[in-house]
Structure 1
Amino acid sequence: MKVRCILFCDGGDLPGIQNAIIRRHSDSLELSFFIDDRKISEILNENCSYAIVLCQDCKKDFHADPDAAFRNARYLVSRERFWEAHEALEDAWRSAYGSRKDRIQALIWIVAAQVHWQMGQADTAVRMHQKAMDVISSDLEFHYPLTANEFDHLISRV
């Protein structure tokens, strides 16, 4: 199955991936591309040790590993890649049900609020954050950027 993969590399030898979108960060390169999911382990190396797999086109019967989704989202939050973190969390949301699904949805709203803040939409960001806090019952105040430790605190509520 083809999946969207985001690979973070420190430089050095980059894997030869066709049609990758490359973004330069202050501490790494980000490559975004589609690949067969069985080949992901082949592209990881010393310089590119972390890959996020996003599966927005997966069939409804796809059962994602929620722990991997949370781990990927945490990594992305630590890099202020909130849009991608929100997409990673959707894998956990798809496999949840009941009140846990509602709490994961609220976590997605919190991360999406960070995206709205990045876009200069402060009112929307604060509203989304507050709506999520009402579901998660947390006292975390809105600010930008959300840190990985704050994300951990919110995950403990989910």
Structure 2
Amino acid sequence: MRKRHILLYPPTIEVKNLHKINIVDIRRCKYTEIDIIDDPQKVIKILGNPIKIINVNEEKESFPNLFFNCRFWEAHEVLEKIWITEMNEKRKKYLQALILLCASMIHYLKGHEKVSDDLLNKALSLISELPEDLLPLFYISLTLNS
């Protein structure tokens, strides 16, 4: 079974000739993320050595680290795992808003501005329903537990 990897390259790299590789997605922000379910060496032979190779099934990073490094897809996945088991409705709503924010950023970076705006509005709507004094506590708790 092939494992999922994300290869991080500089944002300016020209991505070409990857048609024989099982690509999940290619995302650009702080890095060019080449998300594959394939052997990373196939990409390396074409594009050269990446800045970093992430084995998605093994490497775990915190939500804040992922988010602030523009790795919104992975940040979204970290939050979803927490959201699924969350029992506190207010905290669940906060997590859902952050998931929508990550999804909004993913679409924005792909040039899907309308979809991004719609997701951002949904996220802001959810956050606006929460007591303002709880938001910092939710963020601190999430930071410590992700």
What amino acid is aligned across from residue 127 of structure 1 in structure 2? S
The 5 Å alignment of 1:62-77 reads 68=60, 71-77=61-67
Alpha-carbon deviation of 1:4?
Answer: 3.4
Q: CA RMSD in A?
A: 4.6
TM-score by length of 1: 0.48
The answer to whether the 8 A contact 1:5-1:52 is kept is yes
Q: Deviation per CA, 1:73-101, whole angstroms, max 9, x where unpaired?
A: 3333113343431123334456x5655x9
Separation in 2, partners of 1:72, 1:130: 25
Alpha-carbon contact 1:74-1:152 (below 8 Å) kept: no
Instruction: Name the SS for the 2:50 alignment partner.
Output: coil
1:112 pairs with 2:99: yes
Q: Which of the two has higher C-alpha Rg?
A: 2
1:88 aligns with 2:78: yes
1:78-134, Cα deviation, whole Å (9 max, x unpaired): 13343431123334456x5655x984x445313223134741124312122235x45
Residue of structure 2 in register with 1:127 after alignment: 125
Residue in 2 that maps onto 1:138: 135
- In structure 1, C-alpha distance between the alignment counterparts of 2:64 and 2:145, rounded to whole Å: 15
Give the total of aligned pairs.
Answer: 122
With a CA cutoff of 8 Å and minimum separation of 6, indicate the structure with the bigger relative contact order: 2
2-structure distance, mates of 1:127, 1:88: 22
AA aligned to 1:48 is I
Query: What amino acid sits opposite 2:121 in the alignment?
Result: D
Secondary structure of the structure 1 residue equivalent to 2:135? coil
Identity of aligned residues (%): 19
**Secondary structure in 1 aligned to 2:56?**
strand
Q: Which runs of 5+ in 2 are unaligned?
A: 109-115
Describe the shift of the 1:102–1:52 C-alpha distance in structure 2 as closer, same or farther (beyond 3 A): farther
